[in-house]
Amino acid sequence: MKIKDIVEEYFVFSKRERWGVYILSFITLMVWAIPFFFATDDSIEDVFQITYVQIDSAREQLIKKQTAYNKAKYSNWTIQTPTSKNQHASRSITRQNAVLDINEADSLDLEKLPAIGEKLSSRIVRYRDRLGGFMQLSQLKEVYGLSDSTYQIIFPLLKIGKDFKPKQIDINKAEYTDLRKHPYTNNSFIKLVLAYRKVHGNFSNQVDLQKVEQLDKLVLDKLAPYLSYGH
């Protein structure tokens, strides 16, 4: 068989196949050529005549100005609380340099704060109940959905009473379900504490509690105000 016959046998295409090859070749050529038509060596700095350093600096200035604006706008807001429990609907915020006690306010009080809606006020109250009360305002950051920007807005409007005492859990009487309700505990923590108490007896103070191996000291420090020892 001649070479010509061999070539024709393997490389002869129908009319439809030839058109397919032509179209595929055209698409391939366009894909290769198009970037050359739109290619540019200009960076964002060349196009807008601004550097990335200037962009970052402008962003920082905007954040600072927004923070200063929020503080100036909300720093002198106050809560007016009616004397009657039946007057919840009349509660409002005015500007007279007073603050709201975060451990005494109900969800309606909190809802009146700027940047706090119905859902977030309810979350704050539920978290406060689980916690046993806020010992520091910074604990509000632990509430799900409460952003740092919102915290910065409401921080000047809140306080914690000087005589406030949190609700405590007796570590020597508490069972698993009692401890699990607190947001600072987890399954591992509770099992270690209960196992140690079963073997060694009741805890006298936090120093005794620190003898439980593998307990995170930071967690113990956070829990300290919320624990009692049956004294």
Give the list of residues 6+ apart from residue 152 with CB closer than 8 angstroms, or none. Answer: 67, 70, 71
Q: What is the number of alpha carbons within 13 Å of residue 154 lying toward its C-beta?
A: 29
pLDDT(231) > 70: no
- Domain range for 13: 3-38
C-alpha span between 176 and 197 (Å, rounded): 12
Domain assignment present for 95: yes
85 and 155 both lie in a single domain: yes
Domain assignment present for 176: yes
- What's the whole-number mean pLDDT along residues 49-58? 60
192 and 214 both lie in a single domain: yes
pLDDT(193) > 50: yes
170, 230 in Cβ contact below 8 A? Answer: yes
Q: What is the per-residue pLDDT for 82?
A: 42
91 and 135 both lie in a single domain: yes
Kindly report the pTM of this predicted structure: 0.59
- What's the whole-number mean pLDDT along residues 80-87? 44
Q: Please report, to the nearest 10 degrees, the dihedral formed by the alpha carbons of residues 91, 92, 96, 98 taken in order.
A: 50
Last residue of a domain, one of 102, 130, 159: 159
Q: What is the per-residue pLDDT for 27?
A: 84
**Mean confidence (pLDDT) of the chain:** 77
Last residue of a domain, one of 135, 159, 183: 159
85 and 150 both lie in a single domain: yes
Last residue of a domain, one of 113, 141, 159: 159
- More confident position, 119 or 5: 119
DSSP 3-state percent helix, strand, coil across the chain (nearest 5): 60, 5, 35
pLDDT(130) > 50: yes
pLDDT category at 125 given cuts 50, 70, 90 is very high
10 Å CB burial of residue 110 (0-12, 13-18, 19+) is: buried
